[in-house]
Amino acid sequence: MKYKLIILFSFIYLNAFSQLPDGFVYVKDVIPDLDVELRYFGSNNFVGKPINGYNTNKLIVTEQTAIALKLVHEELQNHNLCLKVYDGYRPQKAVNHFVEWARDLGDTINKQNYYPNVKKIHLFDEGYIASKSGHSRGSTVDLTIIDGNTGIPLDMGSTYDFFGQESWVEYQNISDSQKANRQLLQEIMLKHGFRNYPKEWWHFTLRGEPFPNTYFDFSIE
């Protein structure tokens, strides 16, 4: 407990010199060797272009989330594995961008890669796009596990952000090794205080998150 308090106070000190709201940190200040690839900063995502509010490839989360992620990352490193994070804090303006994109039924440039079996008109009804996201509260992360030597992600049976049953945690029509990789990710995240979203194997939210009812909109700078 004393160790965690020392880390927390050091994060607060670092944050005093940043532009982040109180309670948020740049994760690289906490886990310098973390592999971060914010998919919405570039074009490798279901929209096919950078998303509003993602102005740099810097992962931001709440202080408590960063502490928990550090514990996950360190335990994985004992097995020559590491975390790779695709998304953390997400501005509300980015969520609004997704909503606008989903309403443009003619824009299906990445349909084959991300939602081949779902009609775009049904993305709202089936829960893939919503007007609010837990990511905007700052304690939700999208991530996977990578090989510590090669940096290659473990095979989870579907790509990140794939809209379909193949991404559900309990999806059975995948190989035993893919199931084992998903189970490893689920177990280690749950061990360190995260709860999963059953329809996305990569999606986790910190239990007891500090801002459960607040949706932030500051840009990622």
The phi and psi torsions of 62 (rounded to 5 degrees) equal -70, 160
Give the burial class of 48: count Cβ atoms within 10 A of its Cβ; 0-12 exposed, 13-18 middle, 19 or more buried: middle
Q: State how far the Cα of 215 lies from the Cα of 136, in Å rounded to an integer.
A: 5
b/e per residue, 101-116, with b = 16+ CB within 10 A? bbeeeeeeebbeebbe
Q: State how far the Cα of 208 lies from the Cα of 193, in Å rounded to an integer.
A: 9
Q: Check 126, 200, 209, 221 and give the catalytic one.
A: 200
Residue 53 · residue 219 · CB < 8 Å: yes
Q: What is the DSSP string of 173-200?
A: SS-HHHHHHHHHHHHHHHHTTEEEETTE
Annotated catalytic residue 37:
no
Q: In what order do the strands lie in the sheet containing 81-87?
A: 35-36, 81-87, 140-147, 200-206, 194-197
Amino acid at 189: M
Q: State how far the Cα of 215 lies from the Cα of 53, in Å rounded to an integer.
A: 14
Q: Which residues have a catalytic role annotated?
A: 200
